[in-house]
């Protein structure tokens, strides 16, 4: 590395995150020279950039810990699974995928990577065992198994979190997709879940779809964007969220009975809609199942007795509905 590149790196280490224009003034060199060194440092993976043009910042790249096994090849099965199924979001808001993310998570929590890797794989395999066609059937667990269920069945593509590992890959994507309103992340989610949704449509001979309406106003609504990406060729049953003045998101309520009341009084379905055939109701995240179930109840009022109503949620609760409160 040249003396000039080392000096750029030292400045980034000391003052980063820092913009290129600030480095130009600090080093008293041309913009072209600074970008030449920045490109070299990026290529060598010594720094990384964040932000969007024109406000791009540079900082030293954080490295994961080294694998404890010297011959732990990146192409072994365990590493491939982690590469595909793990996402870690660091405290500074950066997304780290695969092994890099897993190593950083272990480092942050002072955990041994090989031990955690085995536990993570074991947990994933346990989840896979209860999946069928990429779906988890959850009818027996929603509403704590105490309330009347108006859904013929409800499915998740994955849990939101599991064990001490925190959010699953799909859980992270949903959380980040909603909070950042990032269309690319929502598109990635659509690619992951579409095959399973298509299997549900075929299995239950679905003719219509209903997307749960949002409570909070956002420039980009998660389910609207997901609907566009899924491109389901089905009749849409319209459900509407009633604004009672103060918007109370379902996910913020801790008690089951409060969630049921919230869903019952804030979601309405136009009774004049003509529904002919089985229906799939789609939500982003399901905890108690109250929203899906109450929507199904109102749809049942305008359908025939033999109509099947299936609930589907991208992610669902692993143990107790309160784990999805932050979504």
pLDDT digits (tens, 9 = 90+) for 184-216: 999 999 999 999 999 999 999 999 999 998 877
Structure token digits, residue 309: 């109503």
Residues 74-107 have pLDDT tens digits of 447 888 889 899 999 988 788 899 988 999 999 9
Do residue 166 and residue 248 come from a single domain?
yes
Do residue 45 and residue 168 come from a single domain?
no
Do residue 56 and residue 82 come from a single domain?
no
pLDDT at 140: 80
pLDDT at 151: 94
Q: Residue 213: name the closest of 303, 291, 149, 315 by CA.
A: 291
**CATH number, domain at 17?**
1.10.10.10
Do residue 124 and residue 139 come from a single domain?
no
Do residue 43 and residue 14 come from a single domain?
yes
In a domain, 71, yes or no: no
Residue in the block written with tokens 């992951």: 192
Do residue 167 and residue 282 come from a single domain?
yes
Structure token digits, residue 165: 């590992």
Q: State mean pLDDT over 218-235.
A: 92
Do residue 52 and residue 117 come from a single domain?
no
Structure token digits, residue 262: 């919230």
pLDDT at 251: 63
Distances (CA, A) of 240 to 88, 99, 157, 208, 234: 35, 42, 24, 16, 18
pLDDT more than 90, % of the chain: 50
What integer best gives the mean pLDDT of the chain? Answer: 85
Most confident of 5-9, 263-267, 315-319: 5-9
Residue 266 has pLDDT above 60, yes or no: yes
Does 48 or 245 have the greater pLDDT score?
Answer: 48
User: Is residue 241 helix, strand or coil?
Assistant: strand
Question: What's the rounded Cα separation, in Å, for the pair 96 and 87?
Answer: 6
Do residue 238 and residue 120 come from a single domain?
no
Do residue 148 and residue 284 come from a single domain?
yes
Residues 106-156 have pLDDT tens digits of 999 999 998 999 999 999 999 999 999 899 998 887 776 667 889 999 999
Do residue 21 and residue 137 come from a single domain?
no
pLDDT at 218: 78
pLDDT more than 70, % of the chain: 86
In a domain, 68, yes or no: no
How, if at all, do strands 87-89 and 95-97 pair?
antiparallel
pLDDT at 244: 62
Do residue 148 and residue 280 come from a single domain?
yes
Among 103, 129, 155, the domain-final residue is 129
Does 245 or 177 have the greater pLDDT score?
Answer: 177
* Burial class (CB within 10 angstroms; exposed 0-12, middle 13-18, buried 19+) of 107: middle
pLDDT at 259: 67
pTM to 2 decimal places: 0.76
Is residue 154 within 8 Å of residue 313, measured between CB atoms?
yes
How many residues comprise the chain? Answer: 327
Total domain count, the chain: 3
Domain range for 13: 3-60
In a domain, 196, yes or no: yes
Contacts of 288 (CB under 8 A, 6+ apart): 142, 143, 144, 256, 259, 260, 317, 321
**CATH number, domain at 249?**
3.40.50
In a domain, 66, yes or no: no
In a domain, 72, yes or no: no
Question: What's the rounded Cα separation, in Å, for the pair 17 and 175?
Answer: 25
Do residue 113 and residue 158 come from a single domain?
no
Residues 22-61 have pLDDT tens digits of 999 999 999 999 999 999 999 998 998 887 788 888 888 8
């Amino acid at each position: 590395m040249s003396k000039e590149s080392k000096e750029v790196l030292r400045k980034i280490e000391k003052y980063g995150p820092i913009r290129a224009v600030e480095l130009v003034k600090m080093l008293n060199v041309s913009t072209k020279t600074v970008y030449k060194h920045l490109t070299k440092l990026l290529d060598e993976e010594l720094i990384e950039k964040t932000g969007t043009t024109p406000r791009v910042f540079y900082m030293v790249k954080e490295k994961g810990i080294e694998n404890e096994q010297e011959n732990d090849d990146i192409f072994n099965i365990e590493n491939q699974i982690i590469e595909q199924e793990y996402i870690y979001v660091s405290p500074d808001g950066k997304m780290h995928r695969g092994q890099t993310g897993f190593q950083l998570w272990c480092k942050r929590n002072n955990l041994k990577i090989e031990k955690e890797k085995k536990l993570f794989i074991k947990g994933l395999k346990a989840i896979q065992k209860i999946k069928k066609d990429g779906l988890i059937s959850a009818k027996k667990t929603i509403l704590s198994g105490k309330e009347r269920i108006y859904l013929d069945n409800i499915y998740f593509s994955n849990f939101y979190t599991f064990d001490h590992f925190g959010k699953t890959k799909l859980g992270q994507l949903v959380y980040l997709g909603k909070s950042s309103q990032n269309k690319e992340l929502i598109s990635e989610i659509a690619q992951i879940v579409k095959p399973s949704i298509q299997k549900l449509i075929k299995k239950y001979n679905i003719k219509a779809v209903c997307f749960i309406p949002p409570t909070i106003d956002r420039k980009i609504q998660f389910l609207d964007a997901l609907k566009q990406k899924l491109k389901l060729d089905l009749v849409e049953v319209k459900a509407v969220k009633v604004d009672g003045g103060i918007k109370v998101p379902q996910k913020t309520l801790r008690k089951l009975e409060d969630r049921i009341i919230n869903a019952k009084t804030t979601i309405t379905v136009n009774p004049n809609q003509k529904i002919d055939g089985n229906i799939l109701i789609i939500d982003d995240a399901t905890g108690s199942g109250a929203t899906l179930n109450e929507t199904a109840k109102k749809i049942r009022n305008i359908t025939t007795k033999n109509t099947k109503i299936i609930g589907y949620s991208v992610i669902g609760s692993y143990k107790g509905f309160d784990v999805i409160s932050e979504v």
